[in-house]
Amino acid sequence: MSNPIQASLIRYSIPEFKPAWGSIRRGIEKECLRVTPTGHISTRRHPEALGSALTNPYITTDFSEALLEFITPAYADIQNCLKMLENIHRFSLENLEDHEMLWVCSMPCPLGPDTDIPLAQYGSSNIGRMKTLYRSGLHHRYGSLMQVVAGLHYNFSMPDAFWEPFKEICGSRESLKEFKTSRYLHLIRNFHRFSWLLVYLFGASPAAGKCFAQGRKHSMAEFDDHSLYLPHATCLRMGSLGYKSEAQKSLFVCYNELDAYVECLNSAMHTPYPEYEAISRQEGKHPVQINANLLQLENEFYSTIRPKRNVPSGTKPLDGLTHEGIEYVEIRALDLNPFLPLGIDSEQIKFLDSFLLHCLLNDSPQCNQDEFFEVAKNVELVVERGRDPELILSRAGQMTPMREWAESLLNDIHHSSAILNYCHTEAGYSNALAAQQAKIKDSELTPSGRLLREMRENKLSFFEFSTERSKITQKELLSSTLDKRTLKGFIGASELSLKKQAEIEASDTLDFDSYLADWNGN
């Protein structure tokens, strides 16, 4: 075994790391807006050729009919994962109507009033109506503008072959299910501590159209007559202008034990919130939200990472976690990179894997309330001022220059990237790490820095930049077509999804009011 690997094993206090343990499984969920050829949000229904948004495993919608969400299965091979994401893009683009295209930026295209943003529809079944009602609640609570901000979610899990040997290495007497859950929580705590680094490295939303901030308080400056920005911003999507909830600001969610996490979210889902109760009273007898509690569902909790488990449709996610434990983690802190056709590439994936493996293997002290809010403040600072060379963050109460901390953290992640290089007999992970180290030395290399530079040098508004990049990406993705077998697979999945939706609708036995009451435990 090479000396660099030995040093990495010593760093993490483990005797070995077998190559099979490096077969990380990852899946990608990518949101993107359907827009017209002129760059405005589509008001058309979800294309029927894409199947049912309720049951298609690859193509669904998020908040709006216009906000597509592409979902890959979990893959151990990075290229297979990216190829599947590319194929989903290509199939979707080939089936958009009226020359629509996909918006490549996280911050949305020009938007009119909220009423111009159509809520996603999932059919007449109880579960379908519940999904739309949830989105209606989001509209009434936060406004629709915030809900069409797009992101990329990265699902990460270690292979089955890793867990039993690692449990023995750690000397744990827990069951395998309990051990996996406790170690994923261990990862999550470290992810929170270090998540500001991902915001800096991969943030790609330093600017937005003026219409997005209309009627909202903000501290942004004018970039031009049509655009707002912050000169050192990285990821406005993650800030007060983006996907945030003022009502949740005081919510302390603990990741020390699964029971504590579940109890915190369960409490929020059963605690009436006066402002949301007022919404229900104003709207009369027809429900416009699932309930008037602080959270309608656990998914309403805004977090940069979530513990996850695959559960059958209609099952509450927290019930699945409680009964079966954590299966994987979902990273939610990533912008779409408009300079990449898919919004992400293999270099970024390799760094994410190194980062997450480091979070898993590194010591992870229990979290507390002071640290929880310190972390939130660090993220906020990097969102708004991440490329400011003078930026100072708080590290366990001590003021630390952001770049100094970032360099130290990346030097430490060298150990996990070296392990993954060893597992995969390639240098890609070290190269991915080196690319991130270069961004610390030169903030112009970050996606946010590149975006503002291109706008400035080419005298483009945010809208003009985004529209141009969307057209370039569409042309690139459509430069080749799907092979017959792949095309047949997507067509078959779309047709089957429509049949499944019809079967679900035909199988309902409860009226919706009773179904909603049962869901809310009434």
- The domain limits of the chain are 3-517
CA angle 315-317-323, nearest 5°?
A: 85
Q: In this predicted structure, what is the pLDDT of residue 2?
A: 55
HSE (CB half, 13 Å, CA atoms) of 133?
22
Beta bridge partners of 35: 41, 101
Please give the Cα distance from 160 to 365 (Å, whole number): 25
Please give the Cα distance from 350 to 201 (Å, whole number): 13
Which phi and psi angles does 181 have, rounded to 5°? Answer: -65, -45
Residue 155's H or E segment, with its range, is strand 152-157
Buried-exposed string 222-256: b where 16+ CB fall within 10 A, e elsewhere: ebbeebbbbebbbbbbbbebbbbbebeeebeebbb
Helix extents (H) in 158-316:
160-170, 176-202, 258-269, 274-283
Q: Which residues fall within 8 angstroms of residue 187, CB to CB, at 6 or more apart?
A: 329, 356, 359, 360, 364
Q: What is the DSSP string of 177-216?
A: HHHHHHHHHHHHHHHHHHHHHHHHHH--BSEEEGGGGTTS
Identify the architecture of domain 3-517 in CATH: 2-Layer Sandwich (3.30)
Which phi and psi angles does 297 have, rounded to 5°? Answer: -135, 165
Q: In this predicted structure, what is the pLDDT of residue 242?
A: 65
Per residue of the chain (522 residues), what is the pLDDT tens digit?
A: 456 799 999 999 999 999 999 999 999 999 999 999 999 999 999 999 999 999 999 999 999 999 999 999 999 999 999 999 999 999 999 999 999 999 999 999 888 766 679 999 999 999 999 999 999 999 999 888 889 999 999 999 999 999 999 999 999 999 999 999 999 999 999 999 999 999 999 999 999 999 888 777 788 999 999 999 999 999 999 987 765 667 777 778 889 999 999 999 999 999 999 999 999 877 767 899 999 999 999 999 989 999 999 988 777 889 999 999 999 999 999 999 999 999 999 999 999 999 999 999 999 999 999 998 899 999 999 999 999 999 999 999 999 999 999 999 999 999 999 999 999 977 799 999 999 999 999 999 999 999 999 999 999 999 999 999 999 999 999 999 999 999 999 999 999 999 999 999 999 999 999 999 999 886
- Tell which residue, 459, 119, 360, 384, has the closest CA to residue 231: 384
Q: Which residues fall within 8 angstroms of residue 513, CB to CB, at 6 or more apart?
A: none
pLDDT digit string, tens, across residues 74-102: 999 999 999 999 999 999 999 999 999 99
Q: In this predicted structure, what is the pLDDT of residue 214?
A: 78
Q: What is the pTM of this model?
A: 0.96
Q: CB atoms < 10 A from the CB of 269, how many?
A: 21
Please give the Cα distance from 276 to 289 (Å, whole number): 9
Please give the Cα distance from 408 to 185 (Å, whole number): 23
Helix extents (H) in 386-427:
402-424
Task: State whether residue 417 is helix, strand or coil.
Answer: helix
